[in-house]
Amino acid sequence: MSKVFNKKVIWITGASRGIGASIALKLAKTDAILALSARTLKSFNKLKKELTNYKNVHILPCDVSVPEEVHNVNEKISDKLGNVDILINNAGVAKFKPFNEFTIDDFYEIIYPNLFGNFLCSKFVLPSMLEKKKGMIINIISVAAEKTFTGSALYSASKAGVLAMSRSMREDLRVKGIKVIDILPGATETELWNEKSRDKFGWRMMNPDNLAGVIIDVLKKSLSDNLMIEEVIVRPQLGDLS
């Protein structure tokens, strides 16, 4: 077991699959105490089998777009494991289609978990971090926050909102000892993409395990008190999908 985190409590949202699951599997092999959340416990069925032997992993259901659920999960983590030292905001959804085909329901379905959910999780973990004058919030965003892609109006809007909020948050909180770090990945082979897209472009996409390795390297280096890695952009070797 790698002993670099000194039993820090790390909460990963959207941890049941994709990038979140890859981060969780790697961190499970360290001395960190992990709280993993996703919308339903059922979504963890596959990952649970791989985490069976790790006693430092705790799984909780949480819809990050619902204030009461985020509040309750943060309270459960604090009561059972200790206050959150590191929050990894990874939960998110995507829909890709022309703007004229989006509905009002689509707007809420994407903006609420991606932007509002990020706000809620960050807001609820902050009081204990401010009290300790120490903590870390890592936001897994997307290159779509800054680059225009067709069919991506709502997803890009949600991620651009997170990036703008995160940058302002960082300036508010850095003097209080809290680090806010943005990770902007390019196309990664996860279930965020439909099967047709993965079949066509999967060979060009990044492997989520490799990306998770980069994120954990950033996390480890950020444990130093006197530096903050602010933003990291990671793209496939051949660049963005077109």
Which residues participate in catalysis according to the annotation? 155
CA distance 241 to 55: 39
State both tokens at 13.
């949202």
Q: How far apart are the first and last CA of the chain?
A: 41
The closest alpha carbon to 35, from 81, 70, 3, belongs to 81
| Amino acid at residue number 174 | R
| 177 backbone φψ class: left, alpha, beta (φ>0; ψ -120 to 50) | left
Rounded to the nearest 5 degrees, what angle is found at the Cα of 208, between the Cα atoms of 222 and 170? 30
CA distance 115 to 235: 22
What sign does the dihedral 198-201-203-206 (CA atoms) show? negative
Burial degree of 179 (CB within 10 A; 0-12, 13-18, 19+): buried
Q: How far is CA 99 from CA 18, 103, 149, 242, in A?
A: 26, 9, 11, 17
